Chain A
Amino acid sequence: EPEVTQTPSHQVTQMGQEVILRCVPISNHLYFYWYRQILGQKVEFLVSFYNNEISEKSEIFDDQFSVERPDGSNFTLKIRSTKLEDSAMYFCASRDRRNTEAFFGQGTRLTVV
């Protein structure tokens, strides 16, 4: 069964460092998303991506964040200068045009120290 794959599963980084979280969506899916879940809190929308551009972003998604689909298969989330409050679980999701159900990856746990 096709699935969304995220790497790494856990990343520890120093405050101020750049991190790149990687996602491989299900092939032939066209819509891509990043969500964030701070421990013990709700799952929050960060950004949606379609047709090689951002279609919507939340207030959380400030200039420190960027997304890219560099090679037609990977979908990355970059945080330029991490802060302690960026520590969270980050989920990637994708869906195709016909079926609205979004499939989630297993998440990347980011710890900023």
Chain B
Amino acid sequence: AQTVTQSQPEMSVQEAETVTLSCTYDTSESDYYLFWYKQPPSRQMILVIRQEAYKQQNATENRFSVNFQKAAKSFSLKISDSQLGDAAMYFCAAQNRDDKIIFGKGTRLHILP
């Protein structure tokens, strides 16, 4: 079975600085997908970035990028130039192809002005 582990319950970063959120996962499949979701106080789930396991290149979306280490089963999220609007709960998630998404426990990110 898939598992997703986020070892940082909370993190803080100064506005305009860079922060990295950690995530490790475990799967026996070779074809899978990894995601980072943002959950603001409204509690809506917003997809931040996705990575297909077969792609070696790390995904990037504007200020958000990932460091995907397939052998180590690590999938960290880097947020550059942090903004106040980035404050939220961030969930790492994994999905085997054609299967359900499994979420980590989340990391609450605080942005310090």
Q: What residues make up the interface of A, taking CB atoms closer than 8 Å to B? A: 33, 35, 37, 41-45, 48, 56, 89, 91, 93, 100-104, 106-107, 109
* Contacts across chains A and B counted by CB atoms under 8 Å: 43
A46 to chain B, nearest CB (A): 9
B95 at the interface (CB under 8 A from A): yes
- The CA-CA distance from A101 to B93 in the complex, in Å, is 11
A106-B91 CB under 8 A given contacts A42-B103, A43-B103, A45-B102: no
Q: Known pairs A42-B103, A42-B106, A100-B95. 11 more at Cβ < 8 A? A: A33-B101, A37-B43, A43-B91, A45-B102, A100-B97, A100-B98, A102-B95, A102-B101, A103-B47, A107-B44, A109-B43
* Chain A proximity mask over B69-113: 1 for CB below 8 Å, otherwise 0: 000000000000000000000010001011011111110000000
Majority SS of interface residues in chain A?
A: strand
B45 at the interface (CB under 8 A from A): yes
B91 to chain A, nearest CB (A): 6
B106 to chain A, nearest CB (A): 6
> When the two chains form their complex, are residues B43 and A48 in contact, meaning their CB atoms are under 8 A apart?
no
A42-B43 CB under 8 A given contacts A100-B95, A100-B97, A101-B50: no
> When the two chains form their complex, are residues B105 and A42 in contact, meaning their CB atoms are under 8 A apart?
yes
B64 at the interface (CB under 8 A from A): no
**Which residue in A42, A43, A48, A109 is a CB contact (below 8 Å) of B45?**
A43
- The CA-CA distance from A48 to B95 in the complex, in Å, is 13
Q: Which residues of A contact B35 (CB under 8 A)?
A: 101
Pairs across A and B, CB under 8 Å, 22 listed: A33-B100, A33-B101, A41-B105, A42-B103, A42-B105, A43-B45, A43-B103, A44-B103, A45-B100, A45-B101, A45-B102, A100-B33, A100-B98, A101-B35, A101-B47, A101-B50, A102-B95, A103-B47, A104-B37, A104-B47, A106-B44, A107-B43
- The CA-CA distance from A107 to B37 in the complex, in Å, is 14
